[in-house]
Amino acid sequence: MVTNIISFVLDTTVFIRLDFPRILELSVSTFYTTNSVILELKDFRSRSNRDILIQINKLVIEEPNPIYFKEVIAKIRHFDPVTSLSRTDIDVLTLAYQKKVAIITNDLNLQNIAANIGIPFFIVTGKRIKQKIRWKLRCLSCNKILSQADSLKCPLCGGNLKKIRTSINNELKRKSK
């Protein structure tokens, strides 16, 4: 994990898997998260991790600006037209985009979208994406490839659309843990 960044936005996975001795070694002035992340903290450990960060004045709970939210949605749709990201994931991305800071997450889909829209990310434990994946939509009836669609129906023939990988970028440079 990198120690020269002064702020991070935390995803739900961080609170669930947070390694406090390791995370407290960072010279981080502030961790940010959103109310939607806080609402996902159901177990004792993740709520305790949240409480500790609040007690040591390291956690700020903040909502993303709706203007930035719309910008981030547009960026996401460029790489993932029918995203499976949750509202919470999009809130996390938006707050990081708005504050121009990195995200800490173990969520592979969130890592992929962050990499595609230029938001740095780090992991606590677990897997890290090695490549950026981009998605498009293919009509199962006429085989037309679409970058975007307003629904999961083909605008040309009305057939069902399926999300497909269209490109995989070069391997990502490994960030230090």
pLDDT tens sequence for the chain (177 residues): 454 568 999 999 989 887 666 666 667 789 999 999 999 999 998 998 899 889 989 999 999 999 999 999 999 988 888 888 999 999 999 999 999 999 999 999 999 999 999 999 988 778 899 888 888 889 999 999 888 777 788 999 999 999 888 766 655 654 433
Handedness of CA 2, 53, 127, 72 (dihedral sign): negative
In a domain, 164, yes or no: yes
Helix, coil or strand: residue 71: helix
Say if residue 118 is in the same domain as residue 68.
Answer: yes
> What is the C-alpha separation between 15 and 48, in angstroms, rounded?
9
In a domain, 177, yes or no: no
The answer to pTM > 0.75 is yes
Determine the structural domain holding residue 154 and report its residue range.
131-171
Say if residue 48 is in the same domain as residue 13.
Answer: yes
In a domain, 75, yes or no: yes
In a domain, 100, yes or no: yes
> What is the C-alpha separation between 106 and 102, in angstroms, rounded?
13
For residue 98, the tally of other CB atoms under 10 A from its CB is: 18
**Total count of domains within the chain:** 2
In a domain, 176, yes or no: no
CATH number for the domain including 114? 3.40.50.1010
Spatial CA neighbour of 103 closest among 124, 87, 84: 124
Say if residue 71 is in the same domain as residue 143.
Answer: no
| Interacting residues of 41 by C-beta distance below 8 A, sequence separation 6+ | 12, 15, 16, 47, 50
Say if residue 12 is in the same domain as residue 40.
Answer: yes
Say if residue 40 is in the same domain as residue 22.
Answer: yes
In a domain, 53, yes or no: yes
Say if residue 16 is in the same domain as residue 96.
Answer: yes
Residue-level length of the chain = 177
Spatial CA neighbour of 49 closest among 13, 12, 15, 8: 15
Say if residue 82 is in the same domain as residue 149.
Answer: no
Say if residue 109 is in the same domain as residue 151.
Answer: no
Say if residue 68 is in the same domain as residue 147.
Answer: no
In a domain, 1, yes or no: no
In a domain, 71, yes or no: yes
Say if residue 99 is in the same domain as residue 159.
Answer: no
Say if residue 137 is in the same domain as residue 158.
Answer: yes
Which residues face 60 on adjacent strands? 32
Say if residue 35 is in the same domain as residue 84.
Answer: yes
| Phi/psi of residue 23, nearest 5 degrees | -70, -30
